[in-house]
Structure 1
Amino acid sequence: MVHGTHNALEDSRNNDIFISINDQLFPRNDAKISVFDSGYLVGDGIWEALRLHNGVLVFLEDHFNRLWSAAATIGMHLPFTKEELTAKVWNTLKANDMTDGVHVRIMVTRGIKKTPSQDPRLTISGPNVVIIPEYKTASKDSKEKGITLFTSTIRRGSPDYLDPRLNCHSKLHEVQALIQAIQAGADEALMLDINGFVSTCNATNFFIVSKGEVWTSTSKYCMNGITRAKVIEVCRKNNIPCFEKDFSLFDVYGADEAFVTGTFGGLTPVTKIDGRQIGDGKYGHITKKLNEFYESLIENTVKNG
């Protein structure tokens, strides 16, 4: 069984979901995209993932701000507004009668190519928009157990060739890092930046707790995580010292606690890194406290609509 931050409970309802492709709804098994799609051919696309809690798309504005920034970064014109994309998402959710416990993946590629090529001038359609909503609940057992990490030799890219803040379809380097970690017997990969400092994991952001302080990497070489930003926010609101800084594996191996953050799993404790136990090797006290603050933030967001 796969163990990691994206370990979800099985839900048979997902067998019969409808997926939106350019505003048309298709049963899961019939949802297909052209082999001439830019995302399929050259990874030319961007994406977002968000959660539906009790009828509210949580942190929607943050996610859409990130999506529009990604589109601007790769020179893709989005022929719809944020309000129009919100309506597309809700149409898909309503078609599936979904109100809670849902993970929504939005993928936007540059469009259909005339022929296989990198050249964006050979795109002959507007952007392709795919919306996949699934019932997904993170496994509580996995969260309590925590995950193990292995430090990959694959580095996070520099902003001048592939900015790590960009949620793009080109994920091969992260896949390679994860494969290394799996082959080493770990659940997921820890990735360093080009200077050898700790950056992120292959699919989540990374934090340590050291002597009551919470540390995470600078924003120079790490993913622009919404959950990462919210954890930093709740730290500051609750007077927990939190620093975005350069730190190395020297600091990591001696940390009291470690955890990772992501939209799906929230906060997930890390028990071992490179075979070394972190702290007590358990779900740490400060990590639990931060998780409670983060879940309260979600609850307040839902209450306020």
Structure 2
Amino acid sequence: MTDHITTHQAEEDARNDQILIWLNGQIVPKAQALVSVYDSGFMLGDGVWEGLRLYDNTWAFADEHLDRLFEAAKAIDLDIGLTRDQVFQAILDTQQANGMTGDAHARLMVTRGVKTRPFQHPGLSRQGPTVAIIMEHSRPSIPRPIRLATVPHLRGLPMTQDPKLNSHSKLNCILACIAAEKAGADEALMLDVHGFVNTTNACNFFIVRRGQVWTSTGDYCMNGITRQKVIDLCRANDIPVFERNFSLVDTYGADEAFLTGTFGAQTPVGEIDGRQIGTGQMGPMTERIRGLYKDLIAGPGHDSLRMGCACTVHGM
């Protein structure tokens, strides 16, 4: 099979050729958004990032995304050099400069900055952080359910590279994705250190069995914001949901499977390791959860995060 798709596949949009990018306090054309080869992010993957999605002038769950960004920066001892309000204002400024009102995706990246010499020690990054916001017109276009292949790469132990960090260092996930594509799939299904089903290389993973929704314990995967929203929505709507250990045997026998992430929200899975899951199409539970999530996005809870709001982001 060669017709690979990705969980971040979007419609082509010519407007993205002319986007403006926020880079270290300046909004510049895409071609001028340049970072030094001495930057610690380029050189070593030393940095953290967040992805945010714009719906109807609203940056969905911005508070949670900023919580995660600042927590990750603290964990790697990186001073972003901006307050939460300043970071969010930079997002709003970039949105306004690009004239975006919806169907947009922002990637907010922070590295330890330019190094004085091309070596590993973080003390060589003395010029302050590099902060960039790439914002694109982006409407998901995933033509069929995703095919997964189980790979030997793990998402992993906290003492190696904690999977809860949205780190620039993604090589293990990239290698997993390559292995899945070599096997004819679209994305990699990754196990945890005990052999239980964990996550994919880019998204969180759920299955549906006999009316119950299962996902991993969360001990070895990214603490996905969309993942948590799905869990919360299930609990609020009397859908049995469990964060638990489960195996590939449980997974192959599932009635449905789907992925969660900021970009695609809930993406159905049709095949795992050559085995059809359910009907091979989006199942009724996935469709129901999608509807509940859309209602949540459209609800009044995000009104205070609309473009141009002068209120603080934290604690709303």
**For this structure pair, what is the TM-score category when the shorter chain's length is used for normalisation?**
over 0.9
| SS at 1:65 equivalent | helix
Partners of 1:281 and 1:100 lie apart in 2 by 31
| Contact map agreement 1:159 1:220 (CA 8 A) in 2 | no
Give the superposition deviation at 1:29: 1.9
Whichever residue aligns with residue 279 of structure 2, its letter is D
User: Could you tell me the TM-score, scaled by structure 1's length?
Assistant: 0.97
Name the counterpart of 2:189: 190
Name the counterpart of 1:115: 117
Partners of 1:126 and 1:304 lie apart in 2 by 31
| Contact map agreement 2:20 2:94 (CA 8 A) in 1 | yes
Give the superposition deviation at 1:26: 1.8
Given the superposition, is the C-alpha separation of residues 114 and 304 from structure 1 closer, same or farther in structure 2, using an over 3 Å criterion? closer
Aligned length: 302
- The gaps in structure 2 that reach 5 residues or longer are 306-316
| SS at 2:153 equivalent | coil
Partners of 1:120 and 1:304 lie apart in 2 by 38
Whichever residue aligns with residue 98 of structure 1, its letter is M
Give the superposition deviation at 1:96: 1.1
Q: How many percent of aligned residue pairs carry the same amino acid?
A: 50
Name the counterpart of 1:47: 49
CA-to-aligned-CA distance 1:128-152 (integer Å, 9 cap, x gap): 000000000011x52xx21100001
Name the counterpart of 1:159: 158
Runs of 4+ in structure 1 over 2 Å off: 301-305
Please provide the CA RMSD for this pair: 1.1
| SS at 2:21 equivalent | strand
| SS at 2:214 equivalent | strand
Partners of 2:121 and 2:202 lie apart in 1 by 28
Whichever residue aligns with residue 136 of structure 1, its letter is S
Give the superposition deviation at 1:31: 1.4
Partners of 2:182 and 2:303 lie apart in 1 by 44
| Contact map agreement 2:208 2:254 (CA 8 A) in 1 | yes
- The gaps in structure 1 that reach 5 residues or longer are none
Partners of 1:56 and 1:37 lie apart in 2 by 32
Give the superposition deviation at 1:117: 1.1
| Contact map agreement 1:53 1:302 (CA 8 A) in 2 | no
User: Could you tell me the TM-score, scaled by structure 2's length?
Assistant: 0.93
Partners of 1:88 and 1:2 lie apart in 2 by 35
> 5 Å matches for 1:196-215?
196-215=195-214
Give the superposition deviation at 1:30: 2.1
| Contact map agreement 2:52 2:65 (CA 8 A) in 1 | yes
> 5 Å matches for 1:247-258?
247-258=246-257
Partners of 1:184 and 1:13 lie apart in 2 by 35
Name the counterpart of 2:313: none
